[in-house]
Structure 1
Amino acid sequence: MSPVAENKWVKVGQKGSGPGPRSSHALTVVGDKVYCFGGELKPTIHIDNDLYVFDLQTQEWSIAPATGDAPFPCFGVSMVPIGTTIYVYGGRDDTRRYNGLYSYDTLRNKWELLSPVEEGLPGRSYHSMACDDRNVYVFGGVTAKGRVNTLHGYDVVGRKWVEYPAGGEACKGRGGPGLVVVEGKVWVLFGFDGNKLGDIHCFDLGSGQWTTVETTGDVPPARSVFPAVRSGKQIVVYGGEEEPHELMHMGAGKLSGEVYRLDTETLVWEKVVDGTEEGKKPSPRGWCAFAVAVKDGEEGLLVHGGNSPTNERLDDMVFRRF
């Protein structure tokens, strides 16, 4: 199969009561179920705290019959899965109240508050999360005191936070970065500190050391609020905001619709050819929700919603296999 034929976006049909148009929300996948939480329809105004569930087989949305202590409605939130449990952290409402760390057991349909924001990690929004088999990692974001460059891990077995060394002077505090774990290393890509950042930093969990990473090839322009996921030893990034709007979060800046891949061994970027037919390409976007999913037996990037170049929130779902 030719590279062009492989690199196509596919629009995923949606039935049922779904989340609708929104941005600054979170998406994650457990098995053949996609979970969606949080977001905004209008800038800085939260929507709801329903947990939406999308069945990849039937392509139908429903609302999870959740019990327990759920996060309050918020935007700028992140979540990741470990096993059959989802971990949701952060996000804020329109009064700048922040959520702590919650888990959602997808087998029991139950929320649990694991770490109140008053006792655990300082609250934040527009941070990034990633995970391995045992730990949830949180980097950066916007706190009540401004943008931070801190890295923390939550051990889901020991149920405790671990504070790692901060990124240092080279790795500025930022919102909306990419965060990916590849073979024991945590990668921080790009972000926003008042300006769009194009730098990359890597934290080695074994040695406890940060490294500023220099890359070559088709290096993507600086950006923030974009999907970043792992595919084997590669990091795949898509979309995001390359230039901010003069109204900042109240407007839509220059948004990307391109896909790039970084080989974490050779440190060479490749811009992926888009073989999607004209008229069927998804809109450029930022602030979208994303996750790695398996659709029709193939693993790839699943994206829902986000902000469009017209500053209107999107409600489509698109998939692109790796």
Structure 2
Amino acid sequence: MSTLSRSLSDVPEEGTFTPTSPHPDNYPYLSPIATSSASTLNAPSHSSAGSSSRSAGTKVRTPSIRTLGRSSNDNLPVPSGASSSSVKRNPSSSSSASVSSSSKSRKSTAPVTPSVPKYKSIPTLPHEKNAEAVPSTAMHWSRAPVYGNVPQRSMRAHTMTLVENTAWLFGGNDDKEVNKDMKDMYCFDTETMQWTVRETTGDIPPPCRAHTTTLVDKKLVVFGGGHGMQYYDKVYVFDTTTRHWTQPSVAGPFPTPRRAHSAVLYQQKIWIFGGGTGLNALNDVWTLDVSSFSRMKWEEVKTTGRTPKNRGYHTANLVVNLMVVVGGSDGKDFFTDVWCLDLDTRHWSQVTLLTSKYKRIAHSATQVGSFLFITGGFNGEEYCSEVLPFNLVSLTYEPRVTFGKPPSGRGYHSTILADSRLFLFGGFDGTTSYDDVYILDLAAGAYLPQVTSFNIELA
């Protein structure tokens, strides 16, 4: 196992970057918020990714790799013209205390407005009267006609886990939100498009984001993630049938607390790869034995072959017996590479690509038959909305034209495949968090999910 570790110190998770900033260690991950302490944390030197095309003084939205240890975007200006679908932020608990203390000497006259749950009783139709005609065989984006109890918390670096026809939303809390009670979980019905709220019991986990949620026998196994400057190494199990949380006793040794890692389930073990600690990106591999929820056990995996660089905010998908890793970043470089870990032999192999132009972090990757649909993310210069199908047989990207109105460019969203449609939930674009849901109709590609037998030939 490689022990190489690249520093990610003082990397804000989301923020803005001003190329003309006088800070000596200025580079596309540093925001003006972080400059006061950057010199003491050995921030990486300037990265040239996308810098040549930026004009002086232009603010560029930057991605999150803060696997990474600092509040993300406190005191950022509110962007003008922000989408009406974005989630409104509450001040953090620390700032609330500050405001309360400073205002004791004067009596507040502002009325207190109670929060009203967002409930839509009538679905919003996704189509328009003057919608452009498109080929019936083409993939088509539309905004989902959702209704019901729309989520009241951020949908950013969250997880959506499909159990039969219901997608369970967990996590995604913003640093600027007061720690919310996590006893309520939101569910989305992929057939009716209705949001509902389910109250839960038991050992309810704390607010978090950039965690992983793995489905095991109708149970959600949550590991890692964090909130603010906290990073977790705890495991929580949620039974979707009883709606009860447990924090099981797990035998060690334990992996380092982390966020922005990835997880896949294979042979009754959850395989964890990479992520970050707040100071360093990681490239280690661990397994969590979930064959018995009463006797769970961690084990560090010793791999062979050339190891991928340390990274966070990549994606990993289980394809037959391979864990396919796409993109990510170590806090300085944006990766275009694709790696496969054979979970039987525990050997790493790098895929030889015909192009290295598709840089991606904070994207999503959903297996659709013999393809991975890489959606959204940050490419080093801007947040994307395009869909990049990656052919798992030819090991090449096959870009396709989509029609309709795609979601705005974003990362930190979540996607699932249900009934030959790709659902996209929420996300963040550097300034705005979204609470919307989009649907990509596969049209002529609706047969793809039925392709279950194919071979991946690695050199």
TM range (shorter): 0.7 to 0.9
Q: Residue 167 of structure 2 corresponds to which residue in structure 1?
A: 34
- Equivalent residues in 2 for 1:149-228, closer than 5 Å: 149-158=283-292, 159-165=296-302, 170-194=307-331, 195-216=333-354, 221-228=358-365
8 A Cα contact 1:134 1:157, kept in partner:
yes
- Equivalent residues in 2 for 1:1-322, closer than 5 Å: 5-20=137-152, 21-41=154-174, 49=182, 50-114=184-248, 120-132=254-266, 134-158=268-292, 159-165=296-302, 170-194=307-331, 195-216=333-354, 221-243=358-380, 254-276=382-404, 280-292=405-417, 294=418, 298-308=419-429, 311-322=431-442
Pairwise CA distance, 1:123: 1.5
User: Cα–Cα, structure 1 residues 319 and 224, in superposed 2: closer, same or farther, change >3 Å?
Assistant: same
1:135 and 1:321 mapped to 2: Cα distance?
Answer: 33
Pairwise CA distance, 1:47: 5.4
2:186 and 2:345 mapped to 1: Cα distance?
Answer: 39
1:39-97 Cα distance to aligned partner (Å, 9 max, x none): 13457986553421112233222222211112110121221213311121111111314
8 A Cα contact 2:305 2:349, kept in partner:
no
User: Cα–Cα, structure 1 residues 134 and 171, in superposed 2: closer, same or farther, change >3 Å?
Assistant: same
Unaligned runs of 5+ residues in structure 2 are: 1-133, 443-459
8 A Cα contact 2:383 2:429, kept in partner:
yes
Pairwise CA distance, 1:308: 2.6
User: Cα–Cα, structure 1 residues 152 and 321, in superposed 2: closer, same or farther, change >3 Å?
Assistant: farther
User: Cα–Cα, structure 1 residues 117 and 259, in superposed 2: closer, same or farther, change >3 Å?
Assistant: farther
Larger Rg: 2
Question: Aligned with 1:24: secondary structure?
Answer: coil
Match for 2:264: what amino acid? A
8 A Cα contact 2:215 2:221, kept in partner:
yes
Pairwise CA distance, 1:157: 0.9
2:374 and 2:187 mapped to 1: Cα distance?
Answer: 24
1:114 and 1:255 mapped to 2: Cα distance?
Answer: 38
User: Cα–Cα, structure 1 residues 173 and 77, in superposed 2: closer, same or farther, change >3 Å?
Assistant: same
2:339 and 2:136 mapped to 1: Cα distance?
Answer: 31
Q: Which structure shows the bigger proportion of residues in helix conformation?
A: 2
Q: Residue 247 of structure 1 corresponds to which residue in structure 2?
A: none
8 A Cα contact 2:374 2:388, kept in partner:
yes
1:239 and 1:45 mapped to 2: Cα distance?
Answer: 28
Pairwise CA distance, 1:262: 1.6
1:255-300 Cα distance to aligned partner (Å, 9 max, x none): 0111112222211210121122xxx2211110112223x2xxx233
Pairwise CA distance, 1:149: 0.6
8 A Cα contact 2:303 2:346, kept in partner:
no
Q: Which moved more, 1:84-93 or 1:15-24?
A: 15-24
CA RMSD of aligned residues (A): 2.6
2:231 and 2:366 mapped to 1: Cα distance?
Answer: 28
Match for 2:389: what amino acid? R
8 A Cα contact 1:167 1:210, kept in partner:
yes
Q: Which moved more, 1:2-11 or 1:223-232?
A: 2-11
User: Cα–Cα, structure 1 residues 174 and 31, in superposed 2: closer, same or farther, change >3 Å?
Assistant: same
8 A Cα contact 1:38 1:46, kept in partner:
no
8 A Cα contact 1:226 1:238, kept in partner:
yes
Unaligned runs of 5+ residues in structure 1 are: 244-252
The number of aligned residues is 303
User: Cα–Cα, structure 1 residues 282 and 136, in superposed 2: closer, same or farther, change >3 Å?
Assistant: same
Pairwise CA distance, 1:131: 2.5
Question: Aligned with 1:141: secondary structure?
Answer: strand
8 A Cα contact 2:304 2:347, kept in partner:
no
2:136 and 2:383 mapped to 1: Cα distance?
Answer: 23
Question: Aligned with 1:126: secondary structure?
Answer: coil
TM-score, normalised relative to structure 2: 0.61
Q: Which structure shows the bigger proportion of residues in strand conformation?
A: 1
8 A Cα contact 1:22 1:39, kept in partner:
yes
Q: Which moved more, 1:162-171 or 1:203-212?
A: 162-171
2:393 and 2:357 mapped to 1: Cα distance?
Answer: 17
Match for 2:168: what amino acid? Y
User: Cα–Cα, structure 1 residues 196 and 213, in superposed 2: closer, same or farther, change >3 Å?
Assistant: same
Q: Residue 127 of structure 2 corresponds to which residue in structure 1?
A: none
